[in-house]
Homo-oligomer: A and B are copies of this chain.
Amino acid sequence: MNTKKRNILEAAQRLFIEKGFRSTTVNDIIEEAKVSKGTFYNYFSSKNECIIAILENARKETVIKRKEIHTQQNASDVHILTKQLSIRLTVYEEHNLFPLFASIINSQDVGLRDLIKRNYIEEINWLSNRLIDVFGEQTKNVATDCAVLALGMIQQLQHPWINPSTNISFDQLIEFILRRIKTIIYEMTATNDSLLINSFFKQKTEESSVTREHVIELLKTFYLEEKDSFSPNTIQAIEFVLEELSKELPRIFLLENIVPALTEAFTGSQLEQKSTIIIYKLWALLDEWREGQE
């Protein structure tokens, strides 16, 4: 990565940690980074883009570190799961991202909301699968529910007015939660008492590798089925995406800038759920491609 860009990111991170996202101005950042305004806006089209980059880095760091300690053999070891969960807390804490998340979770910025949403869905799916690893195949129907509950409990214990009052480590905290989850997950399995959530997330977890053909097919089906209820803009966007995806060398940059508009278009509509799944996969595909490029 470019020196200037890195400078800016590092400065921004320092300042966000120190003063918070909202009260750090772009001027603060460029001053700290010893860079001019033009340069900042050369690399980031807005302050939000800057925070997005930071969050993305944290996400990637988490994924990588989690993978590092994960093997075929230890997949069912609850201590490994503990460590993996703990990693996210540690990474987030290091970059002081908890308050940040709270402050942007319902931002108007589509890009930001989208990122967080993807992040969240990914986390639930991942945890759901890991719970099945640890607690056995028979828990698969309730695993997503339990993942959501576990995340809720963990987050709550991270709450600024709770957390500081305890001196326990992340590991201890998570072990405590996982003891609760263990009880709950078996109870739910036994009594077949679950809520819901599988339907929403399940599909995604089935195939972890998203193929271009799969996405195209999903999107096309979606398009043909629901076309009538789309706005002209949405139709334009989807047609463009389909066209681009079918090309030999899709212009990733363009796609990345169109997809958020799609998210936006379906936010709050009847089709939100359905579209989210597809858009999620689209993102996954773009991610893969982008990583291939770099």
Residue ranges of A at the interface with B (Cβ–Cβ < 8 Å): 20, 22-23, 99, 102-103, 105-106, 108, 117, 120-121, 148-149, 151-157, 159-162, 164-166, 168, 173, 176, 179-180, 183-184, 187-188, 193, 195-197, 199-200, 203-204, 272-273, 276
The minimal Cβ–Cβ distance linking A175 to chain B, given in whole angstroms, is 10
Question: Known: A102-B102, A106-B160, A148-B156. Contact between A196 and B168, CB under 8 A?
Answer: yes
Bound: A179/B188 CA distance, A: 10
Q: Are B166 and A157 in contact (CB under 8 A)?
A: no
Interface majority SS on A: helix, strand, loop or mixed?
helix
Query: Other than the known A161-B276, A164-B272, A165-B204, what 13 A-B pairs have Cβ atoms closer than 8 Å?
Result: A120-B161, A149-B156, A152-B152, A152-B154, A152-B156, A155-B156, A165-B200, A176-B193, A179-B193, A180-B187, A180-B188, A183-B184, A183-B187
Q: Determine the residue in chain B with the shortest Cβ distance to A103.
A: B106
Copies of chain A in the complex: 2
Which residues of chain B are near A204, meaning CB under 8 Å? Answer: 161, 165
User: Per a CB cutoff under 8 Å, which of B157, B164, B188 touches A152?
Assistant: B157
Question: Known: A151-B156, A153-B152, A161-B120. Contact between A166 and B199, CB under 8 A?
Answer: yes
Q: Are B160 and A149 in contact (CB under 8 A)?
A: no
Q: Determine the residue in chain B with the shortest Cβ distance to A200.
A: B165
Question: Known: A148-B157, A195-B173, A273-B165. Contact between A99 and B108, CB under 8 A?
Answer: no
Which residues of chain B are near A102, meaning CB under 8 Å? Answer: 102, 105-106
25 example contacts (A-B, Cβ-Cβ < 8 A) are as follows: A23-B108, A99-B106, A106-B160, A117-B161, A120-B159, A121-B161, A148-B156, A148-B159, A148-B162, A149-B153, A149-B156, A152-B152, A152-B155, A152-B157, A153-B156, A155-B156, A157-B195, A162-B196, A164-B273, A165-B197, A166-B195, A166-B197, A176-B195, A179-B193, A180-B184
Which residues of chain B are near A120, meaning CB under 8 Å? Answer: 159, 161
Q: Determine the residue in chain B with the shortest Cβ distance to A156.
A: B152
The minimal Cβ–Cβ distance linking A204 to chain B, given in whole angstroms, is 8
Most B CB contacts (10 A, CB to CB) among A173, A183, A193, A272 go to: A183
The minimal Cβ–Cβ distance linking A245 to chain B, given in whole angstroms, is 25
Bound: A71/B273 CA distance, A: 42
Most B CB contacts (10 A, CB to CB) among A23, A117, A162, A183 go to: A162
Which residues of chain B are near A156, meaning CB under 8 Å? Answer: 148-149, 151-153, 155
